[in-house]
């Protein structure tokens, strides 16, 4: 999609022909257990950790309660500067994790590692500013935002040098629909403030979901396809909200004077992990999907960010 593409008002579905927007209220058959508040500690959360010490920095994995923490990718130091590793994303089967790793001062590559930290490999060997990655639910593609070109890119997991599509806008924070047919992202294309948009993966039919004076960013699709968690500053600072995927029924989940960001759903849809600096530094928090029982699961003096949740539905 090139600059100047007009956002359409058509009502369309996630797959197939045009249809009424009622598909937005739950087109998948995944059971959504919103009343389930007990954490499954067999679930795992991957996240990035940064510190002035390379020992405490890298891609980490923990269980959903914050236990069993282990490092699966280390930050490196070369010529007195850090080669950061950041923003991990799970494969659909949970056996691998991909992440961006700087291989020079400005650019880097996509690396894939087994979930135990073994067999790390450079997937792209083509230094670029890949930014935040998200692995598609069907396992075939990555979507990422590149600050270098200020666009969203799709890349084939098996043929990583083949960029499948690019959305050339002032876009960021892309994420997948559960069936891998749609992308949700934030954009400032049609406004001075960021809004949430959807688009088909072939780059067609972008649709604006939120349109207001505030900054709405960091969208994350619920596993049953009915909800989007996102960040908004509509109460004066960044908070976590949810809404139906047609933009209706907006609910505020966090309410504090700190910065809350990076929401990601548990695989059964009962919980949301997110980042907050309410304890003085960026930590990973977990809450129920209705916003209750917000608690810090990392509790370190380091900076943690970019959580991604893996578990069994």
What's the CATH architecture for 21-310? 6 Propeller (2.120)
- Average pLDDT over all residues of the chain: 81
Q: Which of 274, 300, 268 is nearest to 287 (CA)?
A: 274
Give strand pairing partners of 61. Answer: 46, 70
> How far is the C-alpha of 128 from the C-alpha of 6, rounded, in Å?
29
The percentage of residues in the chain with a pLDDT greater than 90, rounded to a whole number, is: 53
The secondary structure element, H or E, covering residue 286 is strand 283-288
CA dist., res. 149 & res. 152, Å (int) = 9
Rounded to 5°, angle at Cα 279 from 216 and 303: 75
For position 44, what pLDDT does the model report? 97
* Helix-, strand-, coil-residue percentages of the chain, each rounded to 5: 5, 45, 55
- d(CA 44, CA 72) in angstroms, rounded, equals 13
Question: What are 167-194's pLDDT values in tens digits?
Answer: 555 678 899 999 999 999 988 766 666 7
User: In this predicted structure, what is the pLDDT of residue 105?
Assistant: 66
Which is higher by pLDDT, 307 or 211? Answer: 307
pLDDT band at 130 (very low <50, low <70, confident <90, very high): low
Range name among 23-27, 44-48, 108-112, 113-117 with the lowest pLDDT average: 23-27
Contacts of residue 123, Cβ cutoff 8 Å, sequence gap at least 6? 98, 109, 110, 111, 112, 157, 160
Give tens-digit pLDDT for 131-181: 678 999 999 999 988 766 667 888 889 876 555 455 555 678 899 999 999
Least confident of 26-35, 120-129, 162-171, 191-200: 26-35
- Tell me how far apart the alpha carbons of residues 123 and 158 are, in angstroms, rounded to a whole number: 9
| 214-232 average pLDDT score | 96
Pairing of strands 58-63, 44-50: antiparallel
145: nearest Cα among 128, 157, 122: 128
Cα–Cα distance list, 21 to 11, 32, 195, 209, 293 (Å): 5, 20, 19, 12, 33
Residue 286: alpha-carbon gap to chain centroid: 15
- Block residue for tokens 């990422």: 144
Q: CA 210, CA 216: separation in Å to the nearest integer?
A: 7
pLDDT at 304 over 70: yes
Look at residue 163 in the predicted model and tell me its pLDDT: 54
Res 191: pLDDT: 62
pLDDT tens track for 47-106: 999 876 666 788 999 999 999 999 999 876 555 445 577 889 999 999 999 998 887 766
Kindly state the average pLDDT of the residues 33-51.
77
């Amino acid at each position: 999609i090139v600059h100047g593409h007009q956002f359409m008002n058509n009502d369309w579905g996630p797959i197939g022909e045009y249809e009424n927007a009622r598909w937005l209220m739950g087109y998948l058959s995944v059971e959504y257990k919103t009343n389930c508040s007990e954490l499954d500690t067999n679930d795992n959360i991957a996240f990035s950790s940064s510190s002035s010490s390379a020992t405490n920095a890298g891609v980490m994995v923990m269980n959903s309660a914050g236990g069993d923490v282990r490092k699966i990718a280390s930050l490196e130091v070369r010529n007195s500067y850090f080669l950061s590793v950041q923003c991990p994303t799970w494969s659909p089967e949970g056996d691998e994790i991909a992440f961006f790793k700087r291989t020079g001062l400005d650019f880097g590559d996509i690396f894939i590692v087994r979930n135990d930290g073994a067999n790390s490999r450079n997937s792209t060997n083509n230094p670029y500013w890949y930014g935040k990655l998200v692995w598609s639910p069907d396992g075939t593609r990555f979507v990422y935002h590149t600050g270098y070109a200020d666009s969203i890119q799709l890349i084939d997991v098996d043929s990583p040098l083949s960029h499948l599509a690019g959305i050339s806008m002032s876009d960021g924070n892309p994420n997948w629909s559960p069936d891998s047919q749609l992308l949700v992202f934030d954009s400032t294309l049609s406004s001075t403030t960021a809004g949430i948009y959807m688009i088909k993966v072939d780059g067609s039919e972008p649709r604006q979901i939120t349109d207001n004076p505030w900054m709405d960013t960091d969208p994350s699709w619920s596993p049953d396809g009915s909800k989007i968690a996102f960040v908004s500053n509509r109460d004066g600072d960044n908070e976590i909200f949810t809404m139906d995927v047609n933009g209706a029924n907006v609910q505020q989940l966090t309410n504090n004077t700190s910065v809350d960001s990076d929401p990601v759903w548990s695989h059964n849809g009962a919980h949301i992990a997110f980042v907050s600096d309410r304890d003085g530094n960026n930590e990973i928090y977990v809450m129920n999907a209705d916003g209750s029982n917000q608690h810090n699961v990392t509790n370190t003096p380091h900076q943690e960010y970019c959580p991604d949740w893996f578990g069994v539905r």
